[in-house]
Amino acid sequence: MMNPFPSMAQAFALLVQEQKQREFKSNPHTFAESFPLNASSSGGVCFSVGTGGLISGGGLDALTRKFVLAADNVVDARVMDVNGNILDREMNEDLFWAVRGGREASFGVILAWKLKLVRVPEKVTIFSIHRRLNSSRDLLQKWENISHQLPENLLIRLLIQNGGVERQVELFFQSQYLGPVDELIPLLRKYFPNFNLEQNDCFQENTTAGLLDKTIPTQKHYYKGTSDFVKTSIPESGWEMIERTFLEEAGPRMILEPLGGKVNEISESETVFPHRKGNLYNIQCTAGWSDNSESISSQKMAWLRKLYKEMEPYVAKSPRTAYLNYRDLDFGTNQEDYSYSEAKMWGEKYFNGNFERLAKVKSKDIGGCPKKAFECKGSSLETVFADMGIWYQAK
Ligand SMILES: Cc1cc2nc3c(=O)[nH]c(=O)nc-3n(C[C@H](O)[C@H](O)[C@H](O)COP(=O)(O)OP(=O)(O)OC[C@H]3O[C@@H](n4cnc5c(N)ncnc54)[C@H](O)[C@@H]3O)c2cc1C
């Protein structure tokens, strides 16, 4: 049987068996390049993602419910500011707060992260259970109600897609358990007896060996993504809408990542990522294509925008929140006449109540944004805030 969850397995390569160091410094390249074996911190689930963007935008992964976000595990950072000064936490605590989730490109260049490492067991177990959405509503409802409350060693995320020759909306319950398979089976029988999971449905991986196969894709692939956070379970009508909309398009994906666990033990303002207690899970929805002609890309993006609109009643509101690392340029981008109040419209989606503090940090003229930082000497939020890097993304 093929490993159903290769990207996560690659992330497992970063886990620790023998932890001799409690912390170390990494260059801001990819995790796999930066981390020696036998050293780990929480990070993303894809091999090609760099530590620069991932950590400074939050960093959700399969370890998050137990070991929180990558940004939460930063104990220090070396940052070059716009004037070429190299700063660390002791020299500027506000800047240190801002780069852990507020997107470092807005504030300077990260030269190094210093990360707290975590201990993980020698064995991790992985499985993926496949079902069809139209016959698994009860299972879906159960997953929504308990996935954020499961023991922290157990992560079950949900991938929804409309793939294959036969148009069917499929569910993949993808799981990582921090422990051996014989511990996992009784847990699954308790929480998800309908999975009927047996030992030979699982992969048991040794966290110190054999996981560093590099599989960086060589083919170009295009996609547009959106994200949301969910605070109350999606009702039957919502799942019907999702199924109907997925059946209209080939190849869309929705990934639901449970929160809860240790994520809830950190306050909304301790680091910049505010989506803590009260959120059940995060949704990332993507439409992808390989033929980048105008007609195909417009069709895929229109489909995703329609789904985003229809999801509104079912997701967090006031503001409708989103995860910075899955940012959606439809929220807005800076024009020449940008302003703090305009940036706030989308800034609060990502940062909620932390947006204003980020703006204040920025207004202290420590910005490193390539375009405007040198011009922004003023102290009012209106004049300085909008040069935060994330708002320079091209559409
Ligand atoms: C295939 C794929 C899988 C993903 N999986 C996950 C996941 O599991 N969890 C998750 O949380 N996110 C995930 N993401 C989202 C990812 O975290 C963001 O796209 C992130 O911005 C990527 O960072 P990067 O450094 O690789 O990208 P880049 O595009 O190189 O950088 C992103 C931004 O950060 C700036 N930047 C990068 N390094 C530095 C630095 N050292 N100093 C200053 N500025 C810098 C860049 O200028 C740019 O503005 C995924 C993305 C992809 C494409």
Work out the number of other CB atoms within 10 angstroms of the CB of residue 336.
4
Instruction: Report which ligand 1 atom has the smallest distance to the Cα of 389.
Output: 49
Work out the number of other CB atoms within 10 angstroms of the CB of residue 189.
12
Write the residue with the smallest CA distance to atom 21 of ligand 1.
Answer: 53
Domains 123-206 and 222-325 share a fold: yes
Q: What's the CA gap between 143 and 301, in Å, rounded?
A: 29
> CB burial class (10 A; 0-12, 13-18, 19+) of residue 20?
exposed
Q: Which of 14, 45, 49 to mutate to test the pocket of ligand 1 (most atoms within 8 A of CB)?
A: 49
Distance 267 CA to ligand 1 centre (A): 24
Dihedral sign, CA of 12, 14, 20, 22?
A: negative
Half-sphere exposure at residue 163, Cβ-oriented, CA atoms within 13 angstroms: 13
Write the residue with the smallest CA distance to atom 13 of ligand 1.
Answer: 44
Q: Which of 7, 31, 54, 55 to mutate to test the pocket of ligand 1 (most atoms within 8 A of CB)?
A: 54
Q: Please give the positions annotated as active site.
A: 326
pLDDT of residue 266: 97
Give the pLDDT confidence of 153-211 residue by residue, as tens digits.
999 999 999 865 567 899 999 999 999 999 999 999 999 999 999 999 998 877 655 44
Distance 129 CA to ligand 1 centre (A): 29
Q: What's the CA gap between 391 and 215, in Å, rounded?
A: 31
Q: Kindly report the CATH class assigned to 123-206.
A: alpha beta
Distance 50 CA to ligand 1 centre (A): 6
Place of tokens 């935008």: 57
Give the pLDDT confidence of 30-58 residue by residue, as tens digits.
343 444 344 455 555 666 788 888 999 99
Write the residue with the smallest CA distance to atom 8 of ligand 1.
Answer: 44
pLDDT of residue 21: 31
Pocket around ligand 1 at a 6 A CB cut-off: 28, 44-46, 48-50, 52-54, 57-61, 104-105, 109-110, 325, 389
Q: What's the CA gap between 363 and 353, in Å, rounded?
A: 17
Write the residue with the smallest CA distance to atom 43 of ligand 1.
Answer: 109
Instruction: Report which ligand 1 atom has the smallest distance to the Cα of 368.
Output: 43
Q: What's the CA gap between 236 and 173, in Å, rounded?
A: 19
Distance 57 CA to ligand 1 centre (A): 7
Residue segments in the chain with a per-residue pLDDT below the cut of 50 = 1-39, 210-213, 365-395
Q: Nearest-CA neighbor of 125 among 36, 202, 26, 212?
A: 202
- Could you give phi then psi for residue 258, rounded to 5 degrees? -65, 145
pLDDT of residue 64: 93
pLDDT of residue 36: 39
Write the residue with the smallest CA distance to atom 9 of ligand 1.
Answer: 44
Write the residue with the smallest CA distance to atom 34 of ligand 1.
Answer: 53
Q: What's the CA gap between 256 and 264, in Å, rounded?
A: 17
Query: Residue ranges of the domains in the chain?
Result: 18-116, 123-206, 222-325, 327-392
Distance 55 CA to ligand 1 centre (A): 8
According to CATH, the topology of domain 222-325 is Vanillyl-alcohol Oxidase; Chain A, domain 3 (3.40.462)
Q: Nearest-CA neighbor of 58 among 259, 270, 323, 262?
A: 323
Q: What's the CA gap between 14 and 161, in Å, rounded?
A: 28
**8 Å CB contact between 387 and 373:** yes
Q: Kindly report the CATH class assigned to 18-116.
A: alpha beta
Distance 200 CA to ligand 1 centre (A): 36
pLDDT of residue 329: 87
Place of tokens 């993808």: 174
For the chain, state the CA radius of gyration: 21
Q: Nearest-CA neighbor of 334 among 287, 395, 278, 379?
A: 395
Instruction: Report which ligand 1 atom has the smallest distance to the Cα of 58.
Output: 11
Instruction: Report which ligand 1 atom has the smallest distance to the Cα of 53.
Output: 23
Q: What's the CA gap between 132 and 277, in Å, rounded?
A: 30
Write the residue with the smallest CA distance to atom 29 of ligand 1.
Answer: 53
Distance 333 CA to ligand 1 centre (A): 18
Write the residue with the smallest CA distance to atom 27 of ligand 1.
Answer: 53
CA of residue 313 relative to chain centroid, distance? 22
Q: Are strands 281-289 and 253-258 parallel, antiparallel or unpaired?
A: antiparallel
Instruction: Report which ligand 1 atom has the smallest distance to the Cα of 111.
Output: 41
List residues bridging with 129 in a β-sheet.
Answer: 173
Q: Which of 14, 27, 46, 224 to mutate to test the pocket of ligand 1 (most atoms within 8 A of CB)?
A: 46
3-state SS of the chain is CCCCCHHHHHHHCCCCCCCCCCEEEECCCEHHHHCCCCCCCCCCCCCCCEHHHHHHCCCCCCCHHHHCCCHHHEEEEEEECCCCCEECCCCCHHHHHHHCCCCHHHCCEEEEEEEECCCCCCEEEEEEEEEEHHHCHHHHHHHHHHCCCCCCCEEEEEEEEEECCCCEEEEEEEEEECCCHHHHHHHHHHHCHHHCCCHHHCEEEECCCCCCCCCCCCCCCEEEEEEEEECCCCCHHHHHHHHHHHHCCCCCEEEEEECCHHHHHCCCCCCCCCCCCCCCEEEEEEEEECCCCHHHHHHHHHHHHHHHHHHHHHCCCCCCCCCHHHCCHHHCCCCCCCCHHHHHHHHHHHHHHHHHHHHHHHHCCCCCCCCCHHHCCCCCHHHHHHHCHHHHCCC
Distance 48 CA to ligand 1 centre (A): 9
Spatial CB neighbours of 142, under 8 Å, sequence gap ≥ 6: 192, 194
